[in-house]
Amino acid sequence: MNPDLRLEEATGTSCGADALVPGVRDADVDDVNSARADEYALLATLLLAAPDANLMARLSGLRGDTETPLGLAHAALGQAAASASPAAVSREYFELFIGVGRGELLPYASYYLTGFLNERP
């Protein structure tokens, strides 16, 4: 894997923020917003379902700088993806987000604000 793999290449999203908003040209979207969109795409990809072997292989090439917390997190994600098996990650995803009856974590803010799923905060 390329040691300088970018986030969008690792997650398979080469769209960025400009592709998500109709009528926005490339020149209208700055690098910060494009990087932010790529981060949200990564989070959405990882929360949607357990990573398969293909995604884990792409993530294992992810490298980050060592000067920022986000860069360190990217490097740690790349190392974790390289050392984990897809079956173990799938099982951990199931236990964490799905579980029998309910997972350990619920990725819904309404639950943490009200104590109930899908209630109005």
Q: Give 3-state DSSP helix, strand, coil % of the chain, rounded to 5.
A: 60, 0, 40
Q: pTM for this one? A: 0.66
Question: Is the pLDDT at 86 greater than 90, yes or no?
Answer: yes
Question: Is the pLDDT at 20 greater than 60, yes or no?
Answer: no
The reported pLDDT for the residue numbered 3 is: 45
**Gap between the Cα atoms of 12 and 44, Å rounded:** 12
What are 34-78's pLDDT values in tens digits? 889 999 999 999 989 999 999 999 999 998 888 999 999 999 999
Residue extents of the structural domains in the chain: 1-84, 85-121
Question: Is the pLDDT at 106 greater than 80, yes or no?
Answer: no
